[in-house]
Amino acid sequence: MPRTARDVVFVDGVRTPFGKAGPKGLYAQTRADDLVVRAIRELMRRNPSLPPGRVDEVAIAATTQIGDQGLTIGRSAAVLAGLPKSVPGYAVDRMCAGAMTAVTSTGAGIAFGAYDVAIAGGVEHMGRHPMGEGVDPNPRFLAEKLVDPSALVMGSTAENLHDRYPEITKERADAYAVRSQRKVAAAYADGKIQPDLVPAAVRSAELGWGLATEDEPPRPGTTAEGLAALKTPFRVHGNVTAGNAAGLNDGATACLLAAEDVAGELGLTPRMRLVDFSFAGVEPEVMGVGPVPATERLLARNALGMDDIGLIEINEAFAVQVLAFLEHFKIADDDARVNPWGGAIALGHPLAASGVRLMNQLSRLFEERPDVRYGLTTMCVGMGMGGSVLWENVIWEGAK
């Protein structure tokens, strides 16, 4: 039978507060799967008109699929969250773009007609599972010089990007990082970030049970002078520091996607419409430049220019990576369209979970900006990739 692609909408998104990875972090004694279960349950609680049995798929990403992030986490989290056993699920791995890929994969399935409703998200507990845990890179990568040795160290790839863009100085990266911290502090003060957060139970053998209600990583008192004094661990006299890069973090995200007609049938209120997406490969040793070709393909395919994009949520793995994107598209470092409420340098980057955080913030911004039609979520990806997703504001005033 002939098929017609359907419009796909982002209905809702939530996340746990993000924590600092490590023995003293917020989630040091909390399981990774429990974090994503909390997000899924909250998503269902906030959308009571959705019968649990109408969820057709649960796709959850994790970069390190081992231990409490293993066991086909999309399926295991769905069962633990109390969804009917008839609801299937699967795991996704595209490193930092895991949750983004969970969204684009299930979104494509909805457009095709294979699903009506899906849950997509990601989780990363970098305290329990450091990046690269259990990985055994094929020796051919280095023996046959398929990649530069620095390609396997994300901080080194950021230093390589500084080399490629010498106009992006450490001072410029630090200035960007300070702005990110300030924007997050202002967004918290204005109550912009809190609506996405689902309180999560945390356990400490010493302190007992507690409740995580806000992000742990932000450092609102950050100054350029303070950042200038930080060590450059990836290169002597380098440019990348703990202050102008995202930290090691724990957290989970989840979002609800649906066919637009089905959302109407079920009484679900869409926040934004999925227009298109693109993933692109680049040299692994400069993986941070990945969002550039991914976005170029996306814009070209949709006959759009960067001037048509009213809001940009770009993941701040490293300040230099964001600045390289802005440099390429001739966007000012302080352009108001870019991460208006701050980004991962302040909020944290629990790898596979981050893509949905970008989407959550974009959807909230759309609610406040009916004058904006198109928004972009984009990120760099380890091993040399970039991902970009184009969204349309469902309340764009030009559609009236």
Catalytic machinery residues: 96, 349, 380
CA distance 251 to 293: 28
Q: What three-state secondary structure class fits 276? A: strand
The single-letter DSSP state of residue 196 is G
* Alpha carbon separation from 171 to 177, 227, 320 (Å, rounded): 10, 9, 11
- Residues contacting 49, CB < 8 A, separation 6+: 266, 267, 268
Q: Which amino acid is at 392?
A: E
User: Sign of torsion, CA 235 236 241 242?
Assistant: positive
Q: Report whether 356 contacts 122 (CB < 8 A).
A: yes
Nearest CA among 18, 77, 350 for reference residue 212: 18
What is the H or E stretch that residue 64 is in?
Answer: none
Q: Report whether 318 contacts 240 (CB < 8 A).
A: yes
Q: Which amino acid is at 191?
A: G
Phi (first) and psi of residue 370, to 5 degrees: -65, -10
**Concatenated DSSP letters of 359-380:** HHHHHHHHHH-TT--EEEEEEE
- The total of other beta-carbon atoms located within 10 Å of residue 237's CB is 6
User: Sign of torsion, CA 201 204 210 211?
Assistant: negative
Residue 276 class from Cβ within 10 Å (0-12 exposed, 13-18 middle, 19+ buried)?
middle
- Residues contacting 307, CB < 8 A, separation 6+: none
Sequence-ordered alpha helix ranges (H) in the chain: 32-46, 73-80, 98-112, 140-143, 154-164, 170-189, 224-228, 260-266, 291-301, 319-328, 344-347, 354-368
